[in-house]
Every structure is written in structure tokens, then in C-alpha cells.
């Protein structure tokens, strides 16, 4: 007679979590490189979060209302890859076998754009937490803008894993202090409290009372949670989801490398393969008798989230459908915003941004021109989100009718980030990654140092964020060398994929902003002057040239004998030198080069037309000269500053450091003479 098949045994939390541990062990072993400690230590937390709370759709990693999940302790990448693979993302086991291999989708640290489901690139410690603060902020701001009664189309959470290292980093203070002040209660952070960092037991260098520290930031803290007890974790996450106006820190006591009998709980398990022997012992200890990379069917089924994900996604699409019927314009705008496409009237907006600078007579600081550009475009570009690291009145980053975000009133388009350059830059990255916003933030150019690695991460992720870096040279004046950038223009230009603009007037400032906003494959930095700069006559043709990054601003009367290359405040100096030289019968061309990256991207015909190979070149920039050898070579000259600045009125400093028309003209004179005897002279000069 007929007999029912036996019902499958339910998969326990521990067994499900051990799948993560096994995959981490096996992938690190196969790569002979990697970090098994964090994945094995946080496996139980990840299992409860992903199988019982995380709202996501493995079939559509870009679903706008998905929960965001970030591992700030990015060396635990194999935990994330195991989660993505098991829950059903386009990440086949073959990719896990190729962990850390060239062109695999499983690089050593999570990389945005390489692996479906990876929300941000992490590894540089602490930044993932700050990215998440930006994501959680973007979520609440979009909710305030787009949600309507009965239609919560923006309604997700941001979950973050952090380790001891993240919490030792200064950026964790900036990010957590800001999140507490703003009251980002959709932000839920899991602290992997395993007492171990690379040098050993953290007791030797990290004795913070972390729960008390986060309470001081205004966070809700759930402490002493057993990070290996599914029930405690379940209750903690439930509590955290009950928003009370505060972000939540769940402090989980864990054992690093849990499951590796001889290594767990020690630094030895952090960043090296366990080895065949220890892995065999771990398999026994974990009761995981399966071959490397083998996942039993019941466990695979337990993890697969495609059905759950489709249902959640579908439910949201139903909501969107009703929303679109009730609020058709809002729905279209929401889709546009999340897609990153600029408004239909963008071309017209850009025209207005540029047009206002065509008929300007008097000298204006480019930071002021920038403010005028923002006044022209911000009201018509709702995704533009501005801010400053407590230098609003100096950076001039707040346009006139900007709605300012207030603590616990999360709406608006401008934020005073506080004196938190690094946190601001990393949170801006998070906002851009979340979608819906083009964030820009201001500080003094010299303090781009504080934010430098977050600027680099934006360039690595090729996301659209804009850094407004004012007071861009010794033109800053009296505040002195601690505040005067010297090496910054050059060193920012060295970051791959970062466009650095240093405009010389309002027209170039407008085009720089336009290009930075239109650019969807990387970040931009705008270096702006404190001091007034003369406006050059402009029209649509010049504006088109500016977009090329380098162009002939002022042609010589006769065939040019020398080319003067300048940026920003030094363009005026080059023009003065051109006049001086003309009086001596030397024909000089002035090239304005506001963005060397854009110029380098031009076809050779444009580049050679602007910089004819056979004509000597002089570069002038109130910054470190070495960078310009790339354009002037050894025979050319660079008028710049290889020294730190001084505290004095700006005008005096330019003469004090010999950055003026006389110096440019003299260098040109020498080169024009040298034309008769090329070769050695140039090389000799280049080494002086």
C-alpha cells in the first residue's frame, strides 16, 4: 500500500551556520590565502539575520527597497560570498572555488561592481560603518520625500557587521556620533566582540567600554548578546527593529574562528588558512562530514532565499503599482532618482549654470562662483545633496533656499556634517551607493588629507560623489602652512578615476560642476579659490573647450614660440606673462588646464593641437611643481612651490614664493633661447 515519504529533518541554525564556516575554511584553503576567523566567528549572527530578517531578492540585487547589508570588517569577505551563494545570488560555487584569483567575482575583499549583492567595497577598517550611516541617512531622506500615506515605498533597514578594528579607527567615532545625533534608527550594527585583533588580545591596546561609548553617542545598545546563540540573536534583532529614534548597536560576544578546535579564539585564525589537518578536525568538531565546497541538499534548500525574496519584492511592486496610480509623477521621479538618470531638463539647467558667468566683469572667488552655480542648479536637481564639514560659510556649499537636515527630523538636502571630513566622505559614498542622491561635501583642500582614503574608495568604486575643496593654495593667506595645500592638487590627481578640477573663473567653475554632475563613472574634486579671480570672456564655444579639460584660452598673436600652461588662480598670471612676452616680441600661447584627467582622455589630435609637441612649455601652478613634468618635460619649466607655505596676506605670498608673471616670463625667455641648443640644457634645468 501507499506510504508517505518521510518528511525531511528541519535544518538547525547551527547546521546552517556551519555551511558558512565550511565554505570559508575551504575557500581560504584553496586560495592558500585569506581570513577564516571572522566568517567562522560571525556565522551564527549572519545565519539568523539572513534567514529570518534580511529583506532582499537574490534575483534582483538592485531592488531599490532591499535591506542593505555591509561588512565593515571586509577581510571577512568569504562570509559574504558564502551568504550570497547560498541565498541564491548569481555567484556559483565555481566562483567560491576561485576565491582571490585573478578576474574571479570573489576578490580578497568585497568589491562593489564585481560581485552581485556586494553593496560597498570594504577592507579599510571603519569605512563600512560610515558608508552604512550614509545609506541609512539616504533611506530616511528618500522616505520623507517619496513616501505617502498608505505607500511606504522606501522602507528598508541597513545592517552592518563591525569588528574591534573598525571600532578602534577614528572614523567609527565620526560615523557613530553623527548617526546618534541624527537618530538613524533604521541602522542596526552588530559588533563582533571577539577580543582579538592582529597583534593578539585587544586587552593590550583597546579597553573601551564600547557599550557605554555608544550610549554616549545616543545609541540604543544591546550588550552581552551571545553571538553564537540563535535565540538571543533573534530577540536582539527583533528589539532593534522596533525603532525608537536611535540607531542600535548589538554587542555580540563571539569566538573568532569558532569551530577550528586548536585555533579558535586566537589571532592565528584571523588571517591565514587553517591547513588541511585543522580543517579535518574542524569538520569533525562541526559535525560537517561533507567534501570541500559540498553543501547537502537540505542545507542548500534551507538557505535558498529566492522564493522569499521574490515574494517580498513582489509585495513591494504591488505597493509601487498602487503608488504609481495615486501619485504618478512621484513614482516616475522615484524611478528616475534611483536609476541615477539626470532630469529631462538637465541640458537647460546646465545652460543656466554656465550662462550666468558669461557677462561677469568683476573678480569673483571660484568658491563664490561655485555658490552661484549651486543656486542655479540645486533647485532643479533634487538629487543633489550638499554639506560641509563645519565650513559652510567658507566653502559656500549651501545654496540659498537649501532645506537643512535637522537631528531627528530627517528631511532636507543640506547637512552640516560637523568637523568630520573622513566620516563625511565615507558617508557620502554610502549615499551614492544607496542611490537617489548625488552627494557633495566641502572642506578646506588641505583637509582632503583627513578624508583621503574615502575619496580613494569612491574612485575605486567609480561612484558619483563630489568633493568641494576650497582655499586651494597659498592664496588662503594668513592661516598659514597648516592650512595651505601645496602637494594636494598633484596628489589628488594621482588617484585613478578621480577627476580633479581647478577652475580659473566662473565659466570654468560652471563647466566643472556640470561635468562632475554628469559623470556617472567616478568621483570629482573641485579645487576652488578663497581669493577673487578675474573672469575671462566666455561663450558657448569656450565652455565646450573647457569640458575637454585643457584648451587654448589665449592664442599668441603670431605663431606661438612657447606655451604657458596654468590652472586656477595662476591662469591670470600666465595671461600677464603673455602680455609681458608680447612686448618683447615673444609669442606665447596660454593654455588653461582645469582638469588634466579630462584632457588626457581626449584624442591625440586635440591634445597635440593644444600642446604642439615641438613648442617648449611652461607650467605655472601655486602647488608642487613635479606633477607638471608630465606636460612640460625636462626642457620645460614649472613655476610652483615645492615648499610649505607661510602665514601672511595672500598677495605677498605669491611674490614671496616667486609665483608671478615675471617668473613665468623669464622661464619662457630662457626656453625660447634654448630652442637654438636643445637637449642638455633642458635636462640640466629639470634636475635643479
Q: Is residue 497 a contact residue for its own copies (CB under 8 A)?
A: yes
Catalytically annotated residue among 421, 535, 543, 621: 421
Residues in 518-537 at the binding interface with its own copies, rule: CB under 8 A: none
CA atoms within 13 A on the CB side of 418: 17
Nearer to its own copies, 66 or 398 (CB): 398
Nearer to its own copies, 149 or 604 (CB): 604
Q: How far apart are CA 159 and CA 132, in angstroms?
A: 8
Which residues have a Cβ under 8 Å from the Cβ of 500 and sit 6 or more positions away? 489, 492, 493, 524, 525, 527, 595, 596, 597
Q: How far apart are CA 552 and CA 537, in angstroms?
A: 13
Nearer to its own copies, 334 or 447 (CB): 447
Query: Which window, 8-16, 228-236, 570-578, 651-659, contacts its own copies (CB under 8 A)?
Result: 651-659
- Indicate the pairing of strand 364-365 with strand 414-416: unpaired
Contact 256, 196 (CB under 8 A): yes
Please, what is the Cα angle at 155 between 151 and 160, to 5 degrees? 180
Contact 450, 169 (CB under 8 A): no
Contact 392, 399 (CB under 8 A): no
For its own copies, which residue of 375, 479, 555, 666 counts as binding (CB under 8 A)? 479
The contact mask relative to its own copies for 169-188 (x = CB under 8 A, - = no) is xxxxxx--xx-xx-------
Query: Which window, 41-49, 340-348, 531-539, 633-641, contacts its own copies (CB under 8 A)?
Result: 633-641
Q: Is residue 31 a contact residue for its own copies (CB under 8 A)?
A: yes
For its own copies, which residue of 56, 66, 100, 357 counts as binding (CB under 8 A)? 100
Residues in 563-622 at the binding interface with its own copies, rule: CB under 8 A: 600, 604, 607-608, 611, 613-614
Sign of CA dihedral 574, 579, 585, 591: positive
Q: How far apart are CA 299 and CA 51, in angstroms?
A: 12
Q: Is residue 559 a contact residue for its own copies (CB under 8 A)?
A: no
Q: How far apart are CA 157 and CA 262, in angstroms?
A: 37
For its own copies, which residue of 12, 284, 335, 406 counts as binding (CB under 8 A)? 406
For its own copies, which residue of 51, 72, 104, 158 counts as binding (CB under 8 A)? 104
For its own copies, which residue of 155, 215, 660, 674 counts as binding (CB under 8 A)? 215
Question: Which among 464, 537, 540 is positioned nearest to 498, based on CA atoms?
Answer: 464
Q: Is residue 57 a contact residue for its own copies (CB under 8 A)?
A: no
Q: Is residue 56 a contact residue for its own copies (CB under 8 A)?
A: no
How far apart, in Å, are the Cα atoms of 344 and each of 328, 333, 335? Answer: 16, 11, 13
Q: Is residue 311 a contact residue for its own copies (CB under 8 A)?
A: no
Smallest distance from its own copies to CB 390, Å:
5
Please, what is the Cα angle at 451 between 448 and 454, to 5 degrees? 130
Q: Is residue 164 a contact residue for its own copies (CB under 8 A)?
A: yes
Nearer to its own copies, 233 or 425 (CB): 425
C-alpha cell at 584: 618683447
Q: Is residue 644 a contact residue for its own copies (CB under 8 A)?
A: yes
Smallest distance from its own copies to CB 8, Å:
38
Smallest distance from its own copies to CB 411, Å:
14
Sign of CA dihedral 74, 79, 81, 87: negative
β-pair partners for 620: 566, 639
Residues in 414-453 at the binding interface with its own copies, rule: CB under 8 A: 415-420, 422-423, 446-447, 449-450, 452-453
Query: Which window, 48-56, 247-255, 336-344, 489-497, contacts its own copies (CB under 8 A)?
Result: 489-497
Active site residue 421: yes
Continuous H helices in 256-365: 276-285, 297-303, 306-326, 328-339, 346-355
Q: 584-607 b/e with 16+ CB inside 10 Å = b?
A: eebbbbbbbbbbbbbbeebeeebb
Q: Is residue 647 a contact residue for its own copies (CB under 8 A)?
A: yes
Question: Which among 382, 392, 545, 570 is positioned nearest to 468, based on CA atoms?
Answer: 392
For its own copies, which residue of 14, 59, 206, 333 counts as binding (CB under 8 A)? 206
Question: Which among 370, 387, 356 is positioned nearest to 568, based on CA atoms?
Answer: 370
Q: Environment class of residue 613 by beta-carbon count within 10 Å: exposed (0-12), middle (13-18) or buried (19+)?
A: exposed
Query: Which window, 191-199, 240-248, 373-381, 573-581, contacts its own copies (CB under 8 A)?
Result: 191-199
For its own copies, which residue of 15, 21, 56, 109 counts as binding (CB under 8 A)? 109
Contact 327, 74 (CB under 8 A): no
Q: Is residue 494 a contact residue for its own copies (CB under 8 A)?
A: yes
For its own copies, which residue of 39, 117, 165, 247 counts as binding (CB under 8 A)? 165
Instruction: Give me the count of residues in the chain.
Output: 688
Q: Is residue 662 a contact residue for its own copies (CB under 8 A)?
A: no
Q: Is residue 266 a contact residue for its own copies (CB under 8 A)?
A: no
Contact 505, 357 (CB under 8 A): yes
Q: How many residues bind its own copies (CB under 8 A)?
A: 130
Q: Is residue 635 a contact residue for its own copies (CB under 8 A)?
A: yes
Nearer to its own copies, 174 or 535 (CB): 174
CA 605 to chain centre: 33
Q: Is residue 687 a contact residue for its own copies (CB under 8 A)?
A: yes
Nearer to its own copies, 404 or 580 (CB): 404
Q: How far apart are CA 434 and CA 312, in angstroms?
A: 19
Residues in 33-52 at the binding interface with its own copies, rule: CB under 8 A: 33-34
β-pair partners for 190: 161, 250
Q: Is residue 550 a contact residue for its own copies (CB under 8 A)?
A: no
How far apart, in Å, are the Cα atoms of 200 and each of 34, 165, 167, 204, 205? Answer: 18, 12, 16, 8, 10
Q: How far apart are CA 361 and CA 231, in angstroms?
A: 71
For its own copies, which residue of 11, 59, 144, 168 counts as binding (CB under 8 A)? 168
Query: Which window, 307-315, 333-341, 477-485, 525-533, contacts its own copies (CB under 8 A)?
Result: 477-485
Nearer to its own copies, 594 or 636 (CB): 636
Smallest distance from its own copies to CB 181, Å:
4
Query: Which window, 38-46, 321-329, 509-517, 641-649, contacts its own copies (CB under 8 A)?
Result: 641-649
The contact mask relative to its own copies for 223-262 (x = CB under 8 A, - = no) is ----------------------------------------
What element of type H or E holds 438?
Answer: strand 438-444
Q: How far apart are CA 347 and CA 329, in angstroms?
A: 21
Query: Which window, 61-69, 322-330, 389-397, 586-594, contacts its own copies (CB under 8 A)?
Result: 389-397
Which residue in this structure is represented by grid cell 568585497?
110
Q: Is residue 213 a contact residue for its own copies (CB under 8 A)?
A: yes
Nearer to its own copies, 308 or 483 (CB): 483
For its own copies, which residue of 97, 195, 308, 483 counts as binding (CB under 8 A)? 483
Q: Is residue 684 a contact residue for its own copies (CB under 8 A)?
A: yes
Query: Which window, 17-25, 47-55, 335-343, 673-681, contacts its own copies (CB under 8 A)?
Result: 673-681
Query: Which window, 185-193, 355-363, 401-409, 428-436, contacts its own copies (CB under 8 A)?
Result: 401-409
Sign of CA dihedral 433, 439, 445, 447: negative
Residues noted as catalytic: 421
Amino acid at each position: 500500500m501507499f506510504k508517505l515519504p518521510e518528511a525531511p529533518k528541519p535544518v538547525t541554525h547551527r547546521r546552517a551556520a556551519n555551511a558558512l564556516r565550511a565554505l570559508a575554511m575551504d575557500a581560504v584553503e584553496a586560495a592558500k590565502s585569506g581570513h577564516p576567523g571572522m566568517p567562522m566567528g560571525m556565522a551564527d549572527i549572519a545565519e539568523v539575520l539572513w534567514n529570518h530578517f534580511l529583506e532582499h531578492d537574490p534575483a534582483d540585487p538592485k531592488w531599490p527597497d532591499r535591506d542593505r547589508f555591509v561588512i565593515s570588517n571586509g577581510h571577512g569577505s568569504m562570509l559574504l560570498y558564502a551568504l550570497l551563494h547560498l541565498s541564491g545570488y548569481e555567484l556559483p560555487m565555481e566562483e567560491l572555488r576561485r576565491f582571490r584569483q585573478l578576474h574571479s567575482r570573489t576578490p580578497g575583499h568585497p568589491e562593489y561592481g564585481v560581485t552581485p549583492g556586494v553593496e560597498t567595497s570594504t577592507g579599510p577598517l571603519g569605512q563600512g560603518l560610515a558608508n552604512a550611516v550614509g545609506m541609512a541617512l539616504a533611506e530616511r531622506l528618500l522616505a520623507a520625500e517619496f513616501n505617502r500615506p498608505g505607500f511606504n515605498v522606501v522602507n528598508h533597514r541597513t545592517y552592518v557587521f563591525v569588528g574591534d578594528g573598525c571600532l578602534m579607527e577614528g572614523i567609527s567615532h565620526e560615523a557613530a556620533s553623527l548617526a546618534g545625533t541624527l537618530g538613524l534608527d533604521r541602522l542596526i550594527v552588530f559588533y563582533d566582540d571577539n577580543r582579538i585583533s592582529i597583534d593578539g588580545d585587544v586587552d593590550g591596546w583597546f579597553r573601551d567600554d564600547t557599550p557605554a561609548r555608544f550610549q554616549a553617542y545616543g545609541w540604543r545598545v544591546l550588550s552581552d548578546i551571545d553571538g553564537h546563540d540563535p535565540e538571543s540573536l533573534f530577540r536582539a534583532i527583533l528589539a532593534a527593529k522596533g525603532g525608537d529614534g536611535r540607531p542600535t548597536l548589538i554587542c555580540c560576544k563571539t569566538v573568532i574562528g569558532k569551530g577550528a578546535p586548536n585555533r579558535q579564539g586566537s589571532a592565528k585564525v584571523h588571517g591565514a588558512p587553517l591547513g588541511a589537518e585543522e580543517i579535518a578536525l574542524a569538520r569533525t568538531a562541526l559535525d560537517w562530514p561533507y567534501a570541500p565546497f559540498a553543501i547537502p541538499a537540505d542545507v542548500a534548500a534551507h538557505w535558498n532565499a529566492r522564493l522569499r525574496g521574490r515574494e517580498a519584492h513582489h509585495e513591494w511592486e504591488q505597493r509601487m503599482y498602487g503608488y504609481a496610480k495615486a501619485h504618478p509623477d512621484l513614482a516616475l521621479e522615484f524611478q528616475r532618482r534611483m536609476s541615477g538618470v539626470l532630469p529631462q531638463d538637465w541640458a537647460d539647467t546646465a545652460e543656466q549654470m554656465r550662462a550666468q558667468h558669461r557677462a561677469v566683469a568683476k573678480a569673483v572667488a571660484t568658491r563664490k562662483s561655485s555658490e552661484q552655480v549651486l543656486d542655479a542648479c540645486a533647485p532643479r536637481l533634487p538629487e543633489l545633496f550638499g554639506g560641509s564639514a563645519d565650513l559652510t560659510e567658507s566653502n559656500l556649499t549651501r545654496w540659498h533656499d537649501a532645506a537643512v537636515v535637522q537631528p531627528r527630523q530627517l528631511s532636507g538636502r543640506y547637512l552640516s556634517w560637523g568637523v568630520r571630513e573622513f566620516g563625511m566622505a565615507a558617508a557620502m559614498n554610502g549615499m551614492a551607493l544607496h542611490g537617489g542622491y548625488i552627494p557633495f561635501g566641502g572642506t578646506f583642500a588641505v583637509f582632503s588629507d583627513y578624508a583621503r582614503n574615502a575619496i580613494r574608495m569612491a574612485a575605486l568604486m567609480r561612484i558619483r560623489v563630489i568633493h568641494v575643496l576650497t582655499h586651494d593654495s597659498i592664496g588662503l593667506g594668513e592661516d598659514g602652512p597648516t592650512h595651505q595645500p601645496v602637494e594636494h592638487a598633484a596628489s589628488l590627481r594621482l588617484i585613478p578615476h578621480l577627476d580633479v578640477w581647478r577652475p580659473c573663473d566662473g565659466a570654468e567653475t560652471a563647466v566643472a560642476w556640470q561635468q562632475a554632475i554628469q559623470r556617472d563613472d567616478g568621483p570629482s574634486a573641485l579645487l576652488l579659490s578663497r581669493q577673487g579671480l578675474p573672469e575671462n570672456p566666455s561663450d558657448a564655444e569656450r565652455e565646450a573647450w573647457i569640458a575637454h579639460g585643457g584648451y587654448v584660452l589665449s592664442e599668441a598673436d603670431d605663431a606661438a614660440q612657447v606655451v604657458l600652461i596654468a590652472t586656477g588662480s595662476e591662469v591670470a598670471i600666465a595671461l600677464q606673462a603673455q602680455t609681458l612676452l608680447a612686448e618683447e616680441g615673444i609669442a606665447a600661447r596660454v593654455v588653461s588646464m582645469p582638469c588634466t584627467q579630462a584632457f588626457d582622455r581626449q584624442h591625440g589630435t586635440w591634445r597635440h593641437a593644444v600642446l604642439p609637441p615641438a613648442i617648449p612649455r611652461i607650467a605655472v601652478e601655486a602647488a608642487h611643481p613635479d606633477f607638471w613634468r608630465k606636460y612640460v618635460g625636462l626642457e620645460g619649466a614649472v613655476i610652483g612651490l615645492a615648499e610649505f607655505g607661510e602665514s601672511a596676506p595672500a598677495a605677498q605670498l605669491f611674490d614671496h614664493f616667486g609665483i608671478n608673471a615675471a617668473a613665468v616670463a623669464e622661464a619662457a625667455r630662457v626656453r625660447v633661447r634654448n630652442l637654438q641648443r636643445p637637449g642638455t640644457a633642458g635636462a640640466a634645468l629639470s634636475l635643479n
